[in-house]
Amino acid sequence: MMNCLHPLTLQQRRLFLQQCAGGLGGTALIHMLQSESQANIPNELTHALQPKMAHFAPKAKNVIFLFMAGAPSQLDLFDPKPKMRELHGQPLPASFLTDLDDALLKGSAQVFSSPRSFTRHGQCGMDFSDYLPHLAQRADDLCMIRTMFTDVSNHHPAQLLMNCGIPRFGAPSMGAWVTYGLGNPSHNLPGFVVMLSNSTGTGDLGGTALWDNAFLPPIYRGVTFRSTGEPILFLSNPRGINSTTQRARLSAIRDLNQLRHRVTEDPEINARVSAYELAFRMQSAAPELIDFSDETEHTLNSYGVNDETTRWFGSNCLLARRMVERGVRFVQLYHYTWDDHADLNKNLKRNCSMTDQPAAALIQDLKQRGLLEDTLVVWGGEFGRTPMHEVRRINAAGREGRDHHPFSFTMLLAGAGIKTGQIIGQTDELGYHGIEDKVHVHDLQATLLHLLGLDHTQLTYRFQGRDFRLTDIGGKIVSNILA
């Protein structure tokens, strides 16, 4: 077949590979150019998804990012502040307000002591509130960062910053960067999968921009999966088309597309061919992926798949494990109803009860199966919540909420290459600012890439005359996170 089709011109190919290999050092590039003469049907985009060499030996191969959009309250889950009890109901001490310019800070806000009770867990003695009993049991498998901080205090920009490295539209998502840098070991499933929680229509989710490829080739864009019914829309063949006729259809489409490519040399045609081939493989791989019949009852129960409250997030967590088993590089789950401006007690409890057990089960299950050695699990949102109560809503006692807080929040890490059973960073007596070991979003991103064997300053893509990277112009590796 190859003989009758012109491959890319050498120059196009070299340019493409330079882009795709983007900073992977010369080795991968040379390897690919050498194998050019034996290149088979796979066009450059199949190459684009082929597993690539990292910059250095990786600790982690896969990532499961449990993104808690809306911003969970760190002060009611992870970071106990006894001092707040003394100051409860009083205005914030003036020392906290100097040099701050943030739209969401109100002079009238009063300190709101957490109504939660905290206990230390595990051998390491990590604090968790009573709302997270399951994750608490995994304390020794976790690294807790209490001093995360970000640059923006609105959901969408902050979600973009956490996922794409800049607080605006137009940059590729971390999942896209990682798949671009490392390729996709799964032959039959996309390299970057996104799953959304059931939100009953509420919630704060920035939408597809959070898993966009932006200027990276579109093959790196996150593909959304559903956890019930057809995992992907239009996955099944229509009536009257079986797998033989489907395959024949695809072959004809591929050949005709490639004939056209000879005329126009439009690289998008090759991307289209790859997309079709992947679509076909997904048709057989995806149903098997979402079929839980080979899971034990014990496993299903541990994820809460059979329980109304946990079913949705639990199914997604279990799917995440099954994807990682099948080689999917980057799985991102979105649970997006954490924005508790009011009724924190009630709403936080609901969100925790939906996610706590499944998230803990995921970590335990990965560990038990030896998958945690290669998999990095991240838990957290776009920012934290204020030590003061919300002033934008009426705050009846017992119905208080907290506002957005970019200056300090907590994230959890588990798995490959992480030094677990430790807490990184310390916040001040009100949990307002980090006072030691502060970790910027870009630092976390740099560290995650590092664990994957990628140098965040080298993983670049040239666009509009500039080399872009996930960490923009920042990012330093947080070495005390590393095992």
Partner 1 sequence: MYHRLLILMLSAFFAVPGSSFSQNKALPQHWSFIRPVKSPQPEVDLSEWLENPIDSFVLASLERLQITPSTRADPITLIRRLSLDLTGLPPDPQHVQSFISDQRPDAYERLVDRLLASPHYGERWARPWLDLCHYADSDGYLTDQLRPYAWRHRQWVVNALNQDMPFDQFTVEQLAGDQLPHSRTDQKIATGFLRHTLSNREGGADLEEFRVKQTLDRTRMVGDIWLGLTIGCAQCHDHKYDPLTQKDFFQLYSFFNNADEININAPLPGEEGPHAVQRVRYLKKRHEILAPIERDLITLQDRWEKKMLYAAHNPGKDHRWDRQWELLGLIWGGGLGEGQLEGVEIVKVPRANRTTLQNERLQDYFLNHGSLVDPKEFSRLELGEHASNLQQARKDLPSMARAPTLKTAQNQRPNYIHLRGEFRSPGMAIKPNIPAIFSVSLNSDSPTRLDLARWLVSPENPITARVLVNRMWQEFFGQGLVDTPEDFGMRGNPPSHGKLLDWLAVDLVQGGWAVKRLHKIIVMSATYRQSSKTREDLLEQDPGNRLLARQTSMRLSAETIRDSALKASGLLSNRIGGPSVFPPQPDRVNMEAFGSNPWPVSEGENRYRRGLYTFLLRTSPYAPFTIFDAPNPNQTCARRNRSNTPLQALTLLNDEVFLEAARHLAARIIRESDDGLQARITLGFRLCLAREPSKEESRRLTSYFMEQVRIFNSDPQASSILSLPGNTTTESDTFAAWVGVSSVLLNLHEFITRE
Contact residues for partner 1, defined by CB under 8 A: 9, 11-12, 15, 101, 103-104, 190, 200-202, 207-208, 212-213, 218-219, 221, 223-224, 226, 229-230, 232-242, 244-246, 248-253, 255-257, 259-260, 263-269, 271-273, 275-276, 278-280, 282-283, 392, 394, 464-466
Q: How far is the CB of 221 from partner 1 (least distance, A)?
A: 6
Minimum distance from residue 331 beta carbon to partner 1 (Å): 16
Task: Considering the complex, state which of residue 57 and residue 396 has its C-beta at the smaller distance from partner 1.
Answer: 396
Q: Give the nearest distance from C-beta 257 to partner 1 in angstroms.
A: 5
* Cβ distance to partner 1 smaller for residue 121 or 329: 329
- We find the least distance from the C-beta atom of residue 16 to partner 1, in angstroms, to be 9
Comparison of 167 and 381: residue with beta carbon closer to partner 1: 167
Tell the smallest beta-carbon distance from residue 226 to partner 1 (Å): 8
CB atoms closer than 10 angstroms to residue 353: 18
What is the DSSP code (8-state) at residue 110?
B
Comparing CB distances to partner 1, the nearer of 32 and 223 is: 223
SS3 (DSSP) at 466: strand
Instruction: Choose between 243 and 368: whose C-beta lies nearer to partner 1.
Output: 243
Q: Phi and psi at residue 194, in whole multiples of 5°?
A: -120, 135
C-beta of 265 vs 436, nearer to partner 1 = 265
For partner 1, the closer CB: 19 or 137: 19
Q: Is 425 left (phi over 0), alpha (psi -120 to 50) or beta?
A: left
Beta carbons of 12 and 265 less than 8 angstroms apart: yes
Dihedrals φ, ψ of 12, to 5°?
-60, -45
415, HSE (Cβ side, Cα atoms, 13 Å): 33
- At its nearest, how many Å lie between partner 1 and the CB of residue 107? 10
By CB neighbour count within 10 A (0-12 exposed, 13-18 middle, 19+ buried), where does 82 fall? exposed
b/e string for 443-466 if b means 16 or more Cβ within 10 A? bbbbbbbbbbbbbbeebbbeeeee
Taking alpha carbons only, the member of 441, 411, 443 closest to residue 152 is: 441
Least Å distance, CB 174 to partner 1, is 18
What are the structure tokens assigned to 137, written together?
Answer: 């049991």
